[in-house]
């Protein structure tokens, strides 16, 4: 897998803040770029089919302050988009999300939904 770009968006929580980033391994430098690629590979998210909110179940109705994560991975073989929240974030993806959160910055609230 050759990572070209990863887009991250985090929204929700009690305050409803929106943060995100767009990273490419080359722009991060050799060490950080290699770390991003390793964390992505270990997370398994690039091979995961896109999750849809309708498929997540009724548990979310009682968990109103969940943080939602949108991760879009662009590789040489295509693009994979994954939508997760605090309840279905796999343990093995937590390190990748933490890395992306370190690079995330505030985003405008009026950003168009995809």
95 in any annotated domain: yes
111 in any annotated domain: no
Residue 15, SS3 per DSSP = coil
More confidently predicted of 1 and 114:
1
28 in any annotated domain: yes
| Enclosing domain of residue 101 | 8-106
The mean pLDDT value for 24-44 works out to 95
113 in any annotated domain: no
pLDDT averaged over the chain? 85
When divided into structural domains, the chain yields a total of 1
114 in any annotated domain: no
- How many Cα atoms within 13 Å fall on the side-chain side of residue 4? 8
Tell me the pTM: 0.83
In the numeric block, which tokens belong to residue 81? 């988009």
1 in any annotated domain: no
33 in any annotated domain: yes
18 in any annotated domain: yes
Q: Which helix (H) or strand (E) holds 7?
A: strand 3-12
Angstrom CA distances, 67 to 14, 17, 77, 87, stand at 9, 9, 29, 9
The mean pLDDT value for 11-15 works out to 80
């Amino acid at each position: 897998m050759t990572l070209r770009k990863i887009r991250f968006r985090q929204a929700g929580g009690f305050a409803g803040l929106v943060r995100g980033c767009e990273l490419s391994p080359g722009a991060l430098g050799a060490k950080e770029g290699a770390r991003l690629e390793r964390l992505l590979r270990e997370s398994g998210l690039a091979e995961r089919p896109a999750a849809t909110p309708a498929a997540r179940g009724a548990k979310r109705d009682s968990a109103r302050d969940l943080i939602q994560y949108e991760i879009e991975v662009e590789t040489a073989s295509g693009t994979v988009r994954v939508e997760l929240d605090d309840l279905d974030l796999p343990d093995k993806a937590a390190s990748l999300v933490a890395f992306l959160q370190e690079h995330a910055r505030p985003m405008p609230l009026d950003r168009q939904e995809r």
